[in-house]
Amino acid sequence: MDAGTFYGDEENDNERSEEEQESENDDGEDVPRQPRWKTSHDSSFPAYPDWQDSLPNADDILSPYQYFKTFFSDDILDFVVEQSNLYAAQVNLNKPLKLTTTELEKFLGATLYMSLFGLPATRMFWRPESRISQVADTLTLNRWEEIKRFLHFNDNDDQPVRSDDKRSDP
């Protein structure tokens, strides 16, 4: 099948009947057929959309931090800090996390920034050959991993014990 047929060259499609096209595949094998356009392009549709509104006023545009705070209020951040510190104490009383709200904001910001890159391992953000200074200068690797390990959003003591939970003690 030639490239013209693949891209919907209607003259080539119409010249060959369906019987001719099927007879090419009569050798008993299922040969996948290339997709072809069934409908033609609507020329009344504009190639580019027209801008219908005006640009926003510069005073109405928030900073990235202000957008962040619309999703993560002080109350939410304080609760996450409290629960993360509590969880770390529940895991090991001798090694408290001592997480602060400012440090949690740095962790969340670094994590969001890390999502923009396609690095296969998080440790690569701190390695010399692939170091991303916006992440590596914000938190050390050990501290980032410690916060990640103990990040918690609820109190385990307030959770009801379910009988079907495989992790609960019988």
Span 104-126, pLDDT tens digits? 999 999 999 999 998 999 999 99
Is residue 166 in a domain? no
Q: Which two tokens stand for residue 86?
A: 């509590």
Q: In terms of domains, do 69 and 27 share one?
A: no
Please write the tens of the pLDDT for every residue from 1-47: 444 444 444 444 444 555 555 555 555 567 777 767 666 666 676 67
Q: In terms of domains, do 68 and 151 share one?
A: yes
Phi, psi of 52, rounded to the nearest 5 degrees: -105, -5
Domain range for 94: 64-155
How many domains would you assign to the chain?
2
Instruction: Report the phi/psi class of residue 104: left, alpha or beta, with left for phi > 0 and alpha for psi in -120 to 50.
Output: alpha
Q: pTM of the predicted model, to two decimals? A: 0.61
